[in-house]
């Protein structure tokens, strides 16, 4: 399957999430934050607070590349993430849009963060018919 677009981001979600505290603990600047009740781009209120670190590598990069980037950013703060995980939901949300038949292949290096943190990989896959 040929990859057309992909993205990956670490989400930290929950009630009472303090964005500045998460940024300080992780030593990272989020790509996006919001509080429960704020309106999304469609005018609907967000149900909970969220801190998001999304790969900046561009949608044309392979999902494996995005996940490796996330792992490199998060590895120095694994201990802090494990502490945050006790209070908040943490996952990695990925999107993958492909064309044609076949499968998706990811390297062990790209997947290493999941057992290290004990978190889920949430994956949205869209398959398009070849032109």
SS3 call for 81: helix
What is the per-residue pLDDT for 79? 94
pLDDT tens digit string along 65-108? 999 999 999 999 999 999 999 999 999 999 998 877 667 789 99
DSSP character string of 3-64: EEEEEEEEEEEETT--HHHHHHHHT---SEEE-TT-B-TTSPBPSSEEEEEE--S-TTS-HH
Which two three-digit tokens encode residue 11?
Answer: 């989400």
Total-model pTM? 0.88
Q: Are 6 and 99 in contact (CB under 8 A)?
A: no
| Domain residue extents for the chain | 2-128
């Amino acid at each position: 399957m040929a990859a057309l677009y992909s993205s990956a981001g670490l989400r930290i979600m929950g009630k009472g999430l303090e964005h500045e505290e998460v940024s300080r603990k992780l030593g990272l600047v989020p790509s996006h934050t919001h509080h429960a009740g704020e309106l999304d781009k469609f005018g609907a209120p967000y149900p909970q607070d969220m801190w998001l670190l999304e790969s900046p590598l561009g949608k044309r990069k392979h999902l494996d590349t995005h996940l490796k980037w996330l792992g490199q950013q998060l590895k120095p703060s694994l201990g802090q993430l494990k502490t945050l995980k006790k209070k908040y939901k943490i996952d990695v949300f990925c999107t993958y849009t492909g064309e044609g038949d076949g499968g998706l292949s990811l390297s062990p290096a790209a997947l290493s963060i999941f057992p290290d943190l004990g978190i889920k990989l949430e994956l949205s896959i869209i398959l398009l018919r070849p032109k």
